[in-house]
Structure 1
Amino acid sequence: MKMRRAAVAGAFYEAEKSSLEKRLEECFSGVTREENENIIGAVVPHAGYMYSGGVAASVYAKLPGADTFVILGPNHQCMGSLIAVSVDTWVTPLGEVEVDKAFVDALPKRIIDVDETAHKYEHSIEVQLPFLQFRFDKNFRFVPVCMSLNDEDTTKEVGEDLANTIAKFDKKVVVIASSDFTHYEPDRIAREKDEYVIEAIKELDVSKLYNRVYERNSTACGVGPIAAMMQAAKKLGAHEGKLIKYATSGDVIGDTSSVVGYGGIIIF
């Protein structure tokens, strides 16, 4: 069995199990665990837990249990295939997580490749797994999709392929997009830009999302994963999104001169 070892344990989150569990308990403190069975997709941040863990937890507290979670993340490292899925078993300080290989086998391979290189050092998907493990223990599998190619046509095709594959199986699947929003702008500007972009996400309008990203020169890093998730969710019957929580790094460290924005969104 091939293993994908944690690349950012000790950096983005704690490397030791008990310390990580304590951190996750803090992230979920004050968050109402109210599962919504109608959720088909979600957007969660991928910064260090001290910065965005509370926003991520606000979404994970609402996710229903699922047989499989598809996690789409941007490829910050620019390594490997342009659209890459992993089949290795992933390991975090909380244990092993198996990939849903039957789902991967069923995915069309027109633009999606099986490639481990793209995932080797990438954090955007890895940081989601401890949240899922904390919430659902070992009662799930996942499908990690790392994206370097993020134009509108490609992301729509990825979303269509995911939706068509999900429809082949008689099981619960939730599609998660991993993304932070505005990077390194004053807090007020970040909030204005992100609100404008998030409105398009809530409307499940992929073209409007891209138009608004270009119009405001948004530096959200996971536009492609978000768009692919939106496309898949809409085809699977979703009709709207809801912003659960928004915050910036300035809320944590107090410096509002240059912040990163984090949004937690559910799609149903």
Structure 2
Amino acid sequence: MFKFREYGKIIDGSYQGDLMRKPAVADRFYPGSPDELKKTISNLLKGAERNRKKAFAAVSPHAGYIYSGELAAETLGSIVIPETAIMIGPNHRGAGAPAALSTCPWELPSGVVPINEKLAQDILHYSSNITCDERAHKLEHSIEVQIPFLQYQQKDLSIVPLIVSHISYPLCIEIAEALVDAIKAFKKEVLIVASTDMSHYEPRHIATEKDAQALQHIKNINPEKLYFTVFDHKISMCGVIPVTITLIAAKMMGASTCELIGYTDSGYASGDIEQVVGYAGLTIS
């Protein structure tokens, strides 16, 4: 059980040990049947690199698997998945705290994933701006769709899920610093996964052009330029905050290389190239 009281993080009473975060988008974004999901993930990961590399972080898309599952698999299948992952996603619905940590186990068709309690407590200890709040996670899909890819490759997976709203750049720095301090105190390998899609509902040629600007700053591991470019140029990249935090943290941990695994858009699955959603996969090492 979490001892949040010493950090002053209790929301609406104490943590309930029997609380379970239930799937929000099973049978919509991915198969809800355990067997079908396992088969789908296995097929998607077939093309993954055998010589997986170690990475500080990854940036992965979060649409339905029919649209971005192949790229998510290619991205997350190209790196070593350690036993612990911090997963950062955007808040699409606006519920809950601006920086909301989930503290209950996550149930998926592929099995229950526990929270890494030690790492979660340390993150809360190092940041007064991160709050235990399940409301932001209850219906949010951006982290949920990533987990089966990690589960399939790492049987002993534990996670720390963090949902963030649109916050200031200085607050991104503060949260990234807290994550790095917690990872250092944890003294074990931790992967950060930032969940994002790129431009939304633009003609393909415009989405590609806009996304190229954002991707250049990600590849350069330049979080500040990414943050302000996205807002100044009105690039509808829903996970700019998770990616900004991840880039800051990775840079603090010594990252020097970012590889673009791939870029695509929803039009290749839907046939509609007038209103596409862009998807990118990157690894940071």
Q: Taking structure 2 as the reference length, what is the TM-score of the superposition?
A: 0.90
User: Is 1:84 aligned to residue 84 of structure 2?
Assistant: no
Q: Which amino acid aligns with 2:122?
A: A
SS at match of 1:76: coil
1:186 to 203, 208, 214: 203
Q: Which amino acid aligns with 1:100?
A: N
Deviations 1:86-113 (A, max 9, x none): 1101000010000011111111241000
Runs of 4+ residues deviating >4 angstroms: none
2:115 to 90, 99, 120: 99
1:54 to 61, 66, 70: 70
Q: Which amino acid aligns with 1:75?
A: N
Q: How many residues align structurally?
A: 266
Quote the residue 1:232 is aligned against.
249
Quote the residue 1:267 is aligned against.
284
User: Is 1:145 aligned to residue 150 of structure 2?
Assistant: no
Specify every segment of 5 or more residues in structure 1 that has no aligned partner in the other structure, as ranges: none
What are the within-5 Å matches in structure 2 for residues 206-221 of structure 1?
206-221=223-238
Quote the residue 1:120 is aligned against.
138
SS at match of 1:184: strand
Percent sequence identity over aligned pairs: 38
SS at match of 2:242: helix
Deviations 1:102-152 (A, max 9, x none): 111111241000111111111111111111111212x12110000013321
SS at match of 2:255: coil
Counterpart CA distance in 2 for 1:174 and 1:158 is 16
Shift of 1:58: 0.9
The range that moved more, 202-211 or 96-105, is 202-211
Counterpart CA distance in 1 for 2:157 and 2:47 is 25
CA RMSD of aligned residues (A): 1.2
User: Is 1:25 aligned to residue 42 of structure 2?
Assistant: yes
Counterpart CA distance in 1 for 2:51 and 2:106 is 28
2:147 to 110, 129, 134: 129
User: Is 1:2 aligned to residue 6 of structure 2?
Assistant: no
Shift of 1:59: 1.1
> Is the CA contact (8 Å cut-off) linking 1:60 and 1:135 kept in structure 2?
no
Shift of 1:205: 0.9
> Is the CA contact (8 Å cut-off) linking 1:99 and 1:143 kept in structure 2?
yes
> Is the CA contact (8 Å cut-off) linking 1:34 and 1:61 kept in structure 2?
no
Q: Taking structure 1 as the reference length, what is the TM-score of the superposition?
A: 0.96
> Is the CA contact (8 Å cut-off) linking 2:127 and 2:178 kept in structure 1?
no
> Is the CA contact (8 Å cut-off) linking 1:4 and 1:89 kept in structure 2?
yes
Quote the residue 1:258 is aligned against.
275
Shift of 1:186: 0.7
Shift of 1:33: 3.5
Specify every segment of 5 or more residues in structure 2 that has no aligned partner in the other structure, as ranges: 1-17
Q: Which amino acid aligns with 1:121?
A: L
The range that moved more, 95-104 or 62-71, is 62-71
Quote the residue 2:82 is aligned against.
66
